[in-house]
Structure 1
């Protein structure tokens, strides 16, 4: 179903950010994110608290998105919302609100795969001068997932590999906590890593079959390493924080590269698209920019605004599904 001006309201409540956005075709008119900073004092997201705060914030966040977009409610053609994956309590809030609004306004309801939306954020107008060509390989890395995905077309994806244990984002947060950083700690590790020597310390690179990942072994090795060093020198972390962070990140990046290199050899696809919160990591961008030149890959990184959780990417997938008449019934469950 083609429209000259297809306006979609996107809603994302997959984790602890309450997000709403309005797009007109591929152009973002507004993109509002309300972050729940209270989780910092708990060292991680508390699911029940996240759901409760979504309930408090969702009306104002959606209203602000509409106001900033400078449109009237009756201009919205459909409502897209994150249906999976995510924290079930948080998803229930977003889905119930989206259903109620769509029913009230008598417009179509569209469910969206959160991971797929992260990948397709690269097609939001202005993210790239030239978007990636199909097919491409997506490395989807965030606090909730670590996947290698083959993307054949906008709505045709296939997971080739994933983590057998913890996600990469979970690994970063656990390591950051051990180093004394506040949650979320991934960006703090990256900040210190830019000042360090990545060849100072060496950590084990756990092996996983096929194109899958395993990070629990690296986590255990890192913790034992710190315990041993601190036993000899109580100030080891503070005296070596830059090199510790740089060496840790380098190990992670090498693990990711090894699996991506296997994927390229297996599929013959050299277009590599990074998505998810960790794709904003500065060290990751530097590492893979160098590797792409050495291996003749073409790599794509999203803008910071669209790497972390947001609703613009949800609205974009909603627009793509609207054009294909892929609507959902109000009985759909997250």
Structure 2
């Protein structure tokens, strides 16, 4: 079967076509086409993602990304097709919140044949509600016109499966498994007793770790997105063996017996070190390294406690912050030294940030939920696993 997947939860517009052969979780997968457009350059001037702008850009980019994915898959078939006034009216009603998208999609329908797609998977949460709605309504319009069932997908489940994905299949999973999801909007520990069986056992009490990276970068005068900039300066400080800050930055909640984390105190400590100061390049690098080390130590400590408590046989790291080299290396070292018998799954860096391939994997996992009745399909920015 072929799934069309759609991701618009934040600032990446992504559409993919993935062929699945066999049943989940033992299927073979083939990525037929993948269209992805990042809005980073647009949001850089705001120092972060501006929801109204993200919504506008998704509306402009979805049809081009659909065309790109179909073209890569060899499934883009041009043909003049007449749409009745009634059909155009229905599409305009479905996309009344996104008139730009309605105009582009109606033109696409008039010039292209229906592709041989079996199901549509779309992120309906969590994320930025205005951005999510664009993708959800796009999926509803495609479903209505092509009579293809839609599968609502939880974005965080997509990150979990993206981490387990090994190019054409899902890697070995032994349960119970522990997933640590770290991104700009989330930091949470999730216990998995099986696929689709989730229990959140810990989370951030304030800032997500990725948010803390971005805010620290902003305090240092670094451009958005801040994570890669912090990592770049931190690597310089390590390479030059620059002396640490004294006193050292705090590790909030490091010794609490739960699996929760907090990064607001660490962020505040950084602010007191840099406020109203002109830092040299090396001083900036030291702050970046010490911040990165503190955040990493907290994650490692809490993960160690959670692994021991849950007797997890698999550790999964998912989300955009997994692209951070220091964090990846720290978890690889942790497993090698303390938990050599568990399976560690890290996503390919290309799949660590938001993408539509992960949404296709989750859609395949939840194929039984596919329906052509999309009247009750809604975006939910606060959706939980």
Relative to the length of structure 2, the TM-score reads 0.80
**Which residue of the other structure, out of 306, 321, 330, is the alignment partner of 2:374?**
330
Determine whether 1:31 maps to 2:34.
Answer: yes
In the TM superposition, 1:31-180 aligns within 5 A as: 31-36=34-39, 37-71=41-75, 73-126=114-167, 130-180=171-221
**Which residue of the other structure, out of 320, 338, 345, is the alignment partner of 1:300?**
345
Q: 1:129-153 deviations in whole A, cap 9, x for unaligned?
A: 9444333111100011111011222
Q: CA–CA distance in 2 between the matches of 1:189 and 1:316?
A: 31
The residue aligned with 1:15 is 10
When residues 123 and 77 of structure 1 are mapped into structure 2, their CA distance, relative to the original with a 3 A threshold, is: farther
CA positional deviation for 1:237 = 4.1
Q: CA–CA distance in 1 between the matches of 2:208 and 2:156?
A: 13
- Bigger shift: residues 84-93 or 197-206: 197-206
The residue aligned with 1:255 is 298
CA positional deviation for 1:74 = 3.4
Q: CA–CA distance in 1 between the matches of 2:35 and 2:174?
A: 29
Contact 1:19–1:31, Cα closer than 8 Å, also in 2: yes
CA positional deviation for 1:128 = 7.9
Q: CA–CA distance in 1 between the matches of 2:212 and 2:168?
A: 28
Determine whether 1:289 maps to 2:332.
Answer: yes
Q: CA–CA distance in 2 between the matches of 1:284 and 1:238?
A: 23
What's the C-alpha RMSD, in Å, of the aligned pairs? 1.9
In the TM superposition, 1:142-291 aligns within 5 A as: 142-197=183-238, 200-201=244-245, 202-207=248-253, 210-227=258-275, 230=277, 234=278, 236-291=279-334
Note the residue ranges of structure 1 that are not aligned, 5 or more in a row: 1-5
Relative to the length of structure 1, the TM-score reads 0.91
Q: 1:44-87 deviations in whole A, cap 9, x for unaligned?
A: 11111110111111111112111112236432100000001011
When residues 167 and 90 of structure 1 are mapped into structure 2, their CA distance, relative to the original with a 3 A threshold, is: same
Q: CA–CA distance in 2 between the matches of 1:249 and 1:174?
A: 12
Q: CA–CA distance in 2 between the matches of 1:129 and 1:315?
A: 13
Contact 1:132–1:300, Cα closer than 8 Å, also in 2: no
Contact 1:143–1:169, Cα closer than 8 Å, also in 2: yes
How many residues matched?
322
